[in-house]
A and B are shown apart, each in its own frame.
Chain A
Amino acid sequence: MSEPALLEVRDVHVRFRGGGGAVARAVDGVDLAVGHGEVLALVGESGCGKTTLARAILGLERPVEGEVRYEGAPLVYRTDALRRYRRSVQMIFQDPSGALNPRQTIYEAVAEGLRIQKVAGAEEPLVADALGRAGLRPPERFFALYPYEVSGGQRQRVVIAGAMVLKPRLLVADEPVSSLDASVRGEILQLMLGLVHETGISILVVTHDLGLAWNIADRVAVMYLGRIVEQGTTEELLDAPRHPYTQALLSVVPEKRGLAQQILQGEAPDPTRVPAGCRFHPRCPLVASGEAKRLGIEERCRGEDLALRPVSGAAAGSAHVAACHAVG
């Protein structure tokens, strides 16, 4: 590929200082790229660092190591440069009610971004166009309404219109539908896919929901304790997962049928105490069952950290990678 990806994350680390001086390695060396017109799902459980990574991509967190590159150039952490950047890269949050000011009309909510960015030209046609694209038609009917006067699904459409009004190139959507009812969820996901087809926008969707990934994503990256542990096309990853963590996650979602359940014990581990070796080994079914020992890799699982590597048996040209000593 000669053309650079729209967005590139190179070996990004974000750390937080917690209580008692402990350092949380929230994002611990992530490489990721989002292509033009691509939908990438970043999947993981709470505490895995996916929201921190999204914030780093938006320039809201400054990596202590590594860099975020947009159209081939690293982000510049200066107020004016970041403001320009955020015109191209917009964020959608989980809860549309929290994202909207209850005292602002829908028109004002959508126009706000235009004003912050000091976009020249007539404002009203832009607002109307954005609302229409977000499926709120006729847009004029919604101008004077307040958020509480429309349904939850319509509120999320208003949030999407507010992001799209600036004609961004990348949308970072953090759990965009998890607070919505199932039937509404499908409608919003359809809208997002439609935007990709119509405008060529790229979407990075941060979610815990693997069914959502199957519904809209071209590629999936699975994050565990600050690292991407597996990445590939949606079909590769969800039809033939190779990392034991991805396999376990898939086995417990009711949307995936016919897999024996592998329930991992304990909860999301602590980023202030990242285990040595493969960071997943304390919960890994391969280690617990003795399979890792049989394969002769247990010592490496416990002692040797590892990067993503191509999985064996993948088709030529495949970019399916996993960070597991048993893979590749």
Chain B
Amino acid sequence: MPHQQIKFYQAGSFVAGNRLLPPEERSVQARMDRSNSLTSGHRACQGCGEALGARYALDAAMRATGNQVIAANATGCLEVFSTPFPESSWQLPWIHSLFGNAPAVATGVAAALKVKGRTDVRVVGQGGDGGTVDIGFACLSGMFERNDDVLFICYDNEAYMNTGVQRSGATPPAARTATTKPVGEEPGNVFGQGKSAPLIAMAHEIPYVATATVSELRDLEYKVERAMEFRGARYLHIFVPCPLGWGSASHDTIRIARLAKETGLFPVFEAEDGEVTGVSRIRRPVPVEEYLRPQRRYAHLFGDPPRADVIARIQERADRNIRRFGLLPDPGEGADLPGHATDKADVTT
């Protein structure tokens, strides 16, 4: 009989764990001893992508550092829903100061730890896209250029959700927000504005920059773990759908994140010292329409008549990402397993 590779989790290579896998090869989220950095009782909406992404990332960071993590949090949903005084959902040392200064606070904590000689304790700064891409951007850029020993995580839900869904610098074109109404020739957010924080972070030539989504847990955990292997400034940009702000069903949060990656609209990659070192390829290519349709923030594109021209422009953006990052599946290799776990997960008998 021909030699055949057996995958440990044939029945679901993309799932969180599997009874057939030894515990150390399962994702952190599959472990009974995960730290649940963000615990139950928080006031995030049903199906919140940010709550999910924050627990994924921080649990992975806790595991990578032996539970020696301090988090500095920007103002935003994440702070508001987790810590309405006097309650807190955080099960790790956590500090909140202002909307715009989370990277600077994180720098300060890192500096204090350095003075105290506590190199074992690591610092994570975190915030939403508003606090990262817009309001906290000067502090973030400063943290990058000084190469402070902080992992900064941006949970990108593409608008200011906490204050009522206003446009941010990370809001995509054509999306409806409270400040980009779906009216006129160019309904929703305009094309040609906004910025890509991961690419700007790369331009700082910091040790590590990566993007991830809540739909690829193993990839996300791998990137947090990888980031913790570096000293200096690191940046992780996590795509977290917002059911409330995007007008999507609460059970579709992960599906929509998956579609963002599979359409090419959200490129998932990692970069070291300013150069891309790895991309997560598309597994089942889909047109952008499949991503847009389940979200009411794009409902104006599917009215009568539908705005095929706008959808085509969004498709162009996706196609550009696919070209730019080389996201198409390699026909020879088949699908990559997320989290680069392929080598670990294969056994040859």
Partners in one complex: no
**Interface of A with B (CB < 8 Å)?**
none
**Interface of B with A (CB < 8 Å)?**
none
